[in-house]
Structure 1
């Protein structure tokens, strides 16, 4: 097989795996035994050579619902994706829509503050190619999650966005929360942590997902909160978290138990960032999505039909 034929076959295979089998770029890189950057180039080549043609198949009703959502809740932008049969597919669809919006919203000299999570990992996977920005910076706005899905940690997503925008990526080298106040104060005074948070506070755009109610959340499943802490939060009305900060059904902050000291931006600091792109969907996140929108934490929302309908029904 000639080098040309080999490259053509590899390009077609990468495109098939990505667009037909909904595989991530990381999974494709493993299967083809190439780097992730090579997969990105193969997908770009597939589009350029006409191997891939993307058609838009939506109804006018979707656009109308997006405009209605914007008007009802005072959002700058809303994007609605179809409801999916499973969580992984839903996250991919949400991630693709969020990636398209992110590229539109970010510009030169932007400072982008980023949280973690599986949906934001899907967004990073959907950012095919580079979109270089002059003077832009990307920074993590929460500490790291141990045992997270590979690539879904806030620092991992930050690095991926930095690569996409050819921008410096600043990690927040601390856990998402610690158990005692002394450790929290020590981390707050660490020069690296302090400088990362100072940069995040200056962000022009924040990108984050929603965490479900305490008993169903990623934080609980990964062991970052205990059953007793979960009960404490539920008893105080927590319906979920935004960037590892809990809120009630009205979008008001819920103070964590004394044994949880989050490391990252506060809700007030998040709300001070001019543009706030929030991404979430699925039945488990319905309450916290509504609470986040109601509390004024969202300027741009990417969600599914189920949650869009629920939001419109509450207006």
Structure 2
């Protein structure tokens, strides 16, 4: 068992006050297995008095971001130099650890698509949840397995023992009428638009303004990208573009976007954004300024750059 799994179980037992029986039931393990894992965690110094998390958090930067952007929580991690994997994969593991700790029974989770969310789902530890439903928040067709929407949905439903609703559509369609038909048609007895309205938690990445960021190859052209940039866009969340001040911007692609509407995202109680890397500093800053994020997960270098942007103003 990996150190991240030892840390998760130790955290549940010592910090979340879950009994060994509760942990065993939640993770689909025997009580004896949980007891042995805790003994192994002690052997490898995963816990002494406190639990050692599988990543280092920067409390100072977290508190600055929480205060400045009125966040419910911020998770700012330092990626060790010895870790050769990219920041997207590393943050995906951080997000998976956080979701494993915070997901609750009887909830609806909305999930975006993209590289980091794909890595999160891959790193998620299987759990035996009760009455959890997962709904896709954005259309998108891609043959890249680890962030293919169908792969993401299938894996997260399997790992949380949940039911789910898919969107069998590209992220952008030919007309508003076609988009409306997709989101309002019944899906497993209920339109996806109505399921979106009942989401308790949303997980999504933050994209920059470039063609690959929209996950719709061969649909958005150079002309459309240039127009989106011309009106001041610095980033997008599930296809919705915004400027550095956090204002969501209207553009000709918006009404053809198969994605949960912005006003509906704001109505979801817990909105978790996971993103990092130097190329996303302006995008993350704009998203934070919009107020659409309640919980941010990012890396230490990116957090410092975002805070420095405020000092320049």
Please give the TM-score of this superposition, normalised by the length of structure 1: 0.76
CA separation of 1:192 and 1:56: change in aligned 2, threshold 3 A: closer
Superposition RMSD on alpha carbons, in Å? Answer: 3.2
Any conservation in 2 of the 1:114–1:154 contact (CA below 8 Å)?
no
Partner of 1:28: none
Shift, 1:185, TM fit:
3.3
Q: Distance in 2 between matches of 1:155 and 1:79?
A: 28
Shift, 1:183, TM fit:
2.2
Matched, 1:82 2:78: yes
Q: 1:223 aligns with which of 218, 235, 259?
A: 218
Shift, 1:298, TM fit:
0.5
1:12-53: per-residue Cα shift (whole Å, max 9, x none)? xxx69x9xxxxxxxxxxxxxxxxxxxxx99xx9996794994
Shift, 1:136, TM fit:
1.5
Shift, 1:259, TM fit:
8.7
Residue ranges of structure 1 left out of the alignment (5+ in a row): 1-10, 19-39
Q: 2:119 aligns with which of 114, 118, 122?
A: 122
Any conservation in 2 of the 1:91–1:122 contact (CA below 8 Å)?
yes
Any conservation in 2 of the 1:238–1:249 contact (CA below 8 Å)?
yes
CA separation of 1:185 and 1:169: change in aligned 2, threshold 3 A: closer
Shift, 1:216, TM fit:
6.1
Matched, 1:186 2:181: yes
Q: 2:63 aligns with which of 63, 67, 84?
A: 67
1:259-288: per-residue Cα shift (whole Å, max 9, x none)? 971012011111110100100001121111
Any conservation in 2 of the 1:69–1:311 contact (CA below 8 Å)?
no
Q: Distance in 1 between matches of 2:253 and 2:107?
A: 36
Any conservation in 2 of the 1:179–1:259 contact (CA below 8 Å)?
no
Partner of 2:135: 139
Residue ranges of structure 2 left out of the alignment (5+ in a row): 6-27, 47-51
Q: Distance in 1 between matches of 2:115 and 2:236?
A: 15
Q: Distance in 2 between matches of 1:259 and 1:105?
A: 33
Shift, 1:103, TM fit:
2.3
Q: 1:109 aligns with which of 71, 87, 106?
A: 106
Q: Distance in 2 between matches of 1:296 and 1:154?
A: 26
1:101-151: per-residue Cα shift (whole Å, max 9, x none)? 212332111110000111011111211232x2222111101112324x213
Q: How many residues align?
A: 275
Any conservation in 2 of the 1:141–1:197 contact (CA below 8 Å)?
no
CA separation of 1:258 and 1:213: change in aligned 2, threshold 3 A: closer
**Of 114-123 and 194-203, the range deviating more from structure 2:** 194-203
Q: Distance in 1 between matches of 2:203 and 2:269?
A: 11
